[in-house]
Structure 1
Amino acid sequence: SYLDGTAIASIAVNARGQAALVIQVPSEPQSVSFVATYLGDGSAKASSSSPDAVLITPTGSTVALSVPQTNVLRVPTTLVATITPASAGGTVTFSVGNVVVGSQAVAKGQASVEWTPQGAGAFTVSASYSGDRGTPRGTATNQVVVVAETRADSITVDPVGAAGAWVPGGSVTFMNGTSMALATSSTSNMPVQLAESGPCMLAGNRLTARSGSGSCTVTALTRSGNGFSGAANTYRVLLTPGWQTARLAAPASGVVNRGAVVKLGKPNLRTTAGQLVTWKVTAGKAQCAVVFTSDGTAKLKARKRGPCNIRATAPGVDGQWNRYAVYRAYVIR
């Protein structure tokens, strides 16, 4: 007899000692408990089974297991189970082979644990869902492979035009205003990503110093791939004052004809650092003189034969730019 509170049917036992019954599933969600009672005969006593509870739900549940198909020995990876419907509660127990990795309560349709493979080879990963009121239990499995540890990657950062590659963890000196392209490569052939912190500017692979004091840090890194683990190197860039420049009109050193008036620079000429350029005759004041037109244009006046040396200067900017100085040596004839 099969019972659910009341007798629902009586089925004869077959020659193998079995009896089977097909029942109508209730139309409303509920938990149904079944007990099978054997009435006995001349060769066996009567007995009853333990209750077997069956959960009737509006819809079934699905369990999906997400795990990388290839994993690395002793490198953590995340096992994720997704339960449908997302409103389900309960817990998921994760196992690798016959070893339980961990259990996690379902939240918003998901549960996850971290697994660190301790051996190489092929493994079966399973996620067993406990079920919840209105949601039946279920299980999902995946076949995965664990491979041996990857090799450490090596990164090279080699400034274009420099004497050699930068040394990881080392330092280099950069002058304010200096700009240099950084050529990068890795043993793994994985892309090298560059990052900068401090008073420098990194545009693509070009680094520009924007201060004449302090330092900035350049980081080069690769992701895991091609059988290599990721790597990260840092380099310290020490910043020093840079050299100012100015757009002079003065001709190169050489011969100037007596009586000539040569333009040296435009009115109120300033350097690239915004410092005012001044002119001075340093030798041969009898032979030449620096004069200014009404609009402030600086010119050299060649008076008489002989040597004439002049200098253009501008003050430095403390901690940022060196003092500017440019010389010309002329011969008046």
Structure 2
Amino acid sequence: LTAKVNPPNGTGSVAFSANGSALGSANVAGGVATINWVPASTGNFTLKAVYSGGGGVAGATATNSVTVTQPLKADVISLNPAGAAGPWPVGSTQGLANGANVQFGVSSASGLPVTLSVVGPCSMSGNTLNVNGVGGPCTLTASTPGGNGYAPTNQTYQVVTGVGTQSAAVNPAASGLYRVGAKLLLAPTTAKTNLGQSINWSVTSGGKSCKIKRTGGNVKVNLVKKGSCQVTGSAPAVPGQWAAFTTGRTYTVR
């Protein structure tokens, strides 16, 4: 509590009270007298400051009213990634690969709406976190606006981003035993990875038994001689951002 004396050259002291109960007094210095008050209960209080006068300044009295309420509670926000065993701990650091998408279920102890925001090489689509590159970390913030007896609350999480995994919707013929003359489908010639990179198919061993052919819009492997071969589909890495894509099959020709 602060009482100001005008003119500020006054001396003396100020006695403070609340609803008639003395709170303490303080000497005037530089035209100001201050004490600390910690209310023992909630409710309406009439505060009074009585200046003793001094230094050629007459005494005076001032009053004010204040309502003391319960302190606002800190909200607790729960951030639950889909498919995870439990929520992310507040302030935790999580690792996610480039290209990852994590959908969160969010709730708060207050029942107030939760807003998610992020800075760094990530973005938010509703409650889904998208990792858009490597070079983080990303800082994810979950917020509630305050209300219902709760204070506005911010909880933060760090996301360390890592090299992503390229993928492709291809399903080459299964590894196994086949007869000479079989022509096995590997993928359409237009198949690409999730980065839009073309897939290169090659026979990496056993080239006398298997031959790659591109025909009719498809990539196939022709089994031309008894033996075995390994066939690999690959796309190059994007340094520092995406790992190389690779998939392989082993065929035995009889």
1:151 equivalent in alignment to 2:67: no
Shift of the 154–276 alpha-carbon distance from structure 1 to 2, 3 Å rule, reads same
1:133-160 CA-to-partner distances (Å, cap 9, x unmatched) read: xxxxxxxxxx984312122222221211
Q: Do the aligned partners of 1:249 and 1:266 also contact (CA within 8 Å) in 2?
A: no
1:265-322 CA-to-partner distances (Å, cap 9, x unmatched) read: 33354322122321222232232122334x7743201012332221111111112211
Please give the secondary structure, in 2, of the residue aligned with 1:148.
coil
1:174 matched residue in structure 2 = 96
1:212 matched residue in structure 2 = 134
1:32-53 CA-to-partner distances (Å, cap 9, x unmatched) read: xxxxxxxxxxxxxxxxxxxxxx
For residues 88-107 of structure 1, what are the structure 2 equivalents within 5 Å?
none
1:281 equivalent in alignment to 2:203: yes
The amino acid that maps onto 2:145 is R
Among candidates 131, 138, 150, match of residue 228 of structure 1: 150
Q: Do the aligned partners of 2:121 and 2:134 also contact (CA within 8 Å) in 1?
A: no
Among candidates 252, 257, 263, match of residue 185 of structure 2: 263
Runs of 4+ in 1 over 4 A off after TM superposition: none
Among candidates 220, 242, 245, match of residue 321 of structure 1: 242
1:332 equivalent in alignment to 2:253: yes
Distance 1:263 1:288 in 2: 13
Q: Do the aligned partners of 2:139 and 2:159 also contact (CA within 8 Å) in 1?
A: yes
Distance 1:147 1:190 in 2: 20
TM-score by length of 2: 0.69
2:14 matched residue in structure 1 = none
Unaligned runs of 5+ in 2: 2-18, 20-36, 47-64
1:292 equivalent in alignment to 2:214: yes
Distance 2:108 2:170 in 1: 45
Q: Do the aligned partners of 2:209 and 2:227 also contact (CA within 8 Å) in 1?
A: yes
The amino acid that maps onto 1:303 is V
1:190-243 CA-to-partner distances (Å, cap 9, x unmatched) read: 222211122212111111111133222110112323332222111111111211
Shift of the 152–269 alpha-carbon distance from structure 1 to 2, 3 Å rule, reads closer
Q: Do the aligned partners of 1:200 and 1:216 also contact (CA within 8 Å) in 2?
A: yes
Q: Do the aligned partners of 1:168 and 1:235 also contact (CA within 8 Å) in 2?
A: yes
Q: Do the aligned partners of 1:153 and 1:228 also contact (CA within 8 Å) in 2?
A: yes
Unaligned runs of 5+ in 1: 1-73, 75-96, 98-116, 125-142
Distance 2:239 2:252 in 1: 36
- Structure with larger Rg: 1
The amino acid that maps onto 2:178 is V
Distance 2:145 2:68 in 1: 19
1:69-119 CA-to-partner distances (Å, cap 9, x unmatched) read: xxxxx9xxxxxxxxxxxxxxxxxxxxxx9xxxxxxxxxxxxxxxxxxx974
Q: Do the aligned partners of 1:284 and 1:307 also contact (CA within 8 Å) in 2?
A: yes
Q: Do the aligned partners of 1:213 and 1:241 also contact (CA within 8 Å) in 2?
A: no
2:159 matched residue in structure 1 = 237
Q: Do the aligned partners of 1:270 and 1:277 also contact (CA within 8 Å) in 2?
A: yes
The amino acid that maps onto 1:213 is G
Q: Do the aligned partners of 1:309 and 1:328 also contact (CA within 8 Å) in 2?
A: yes
Shift of the 181–266 alpha-carbon distance from structure 1 to 2, 3 Å rule, reads same
The offset of 1:259, in angstroms, is 0.3
Deviates more, 1:173-182 or 1:186-195: 186-195
For residues 105-184 of structure 1, what are the structure 2 equivalents within 5 Å?
119=39, 120-122=42-44, 145-184=67-106
1:185 equivalent in alignment to 2:107: yes
Please give the secondary structure, in 2, of the residue aligned with 1:168.
coil
Distance 1:298 1:252 in 2: 15
1:272 equivalent in alignment to 2:194: yes
Q: Do the aligned partners of 1:157 and 1:185 also contact (CA within 8 Å) in 2?
A: yes
Distance 2:82 2:189 in 1: 38
Identity of aligned residues (%): 37
TM-score by length of 1: 0.54
* Cα RMSD (Å): 2.9
Among candidates 197, 204, 209, match of residue 119 of structure 2: 197
Question: How many residue pairs align between the two structures?
Answer: 203
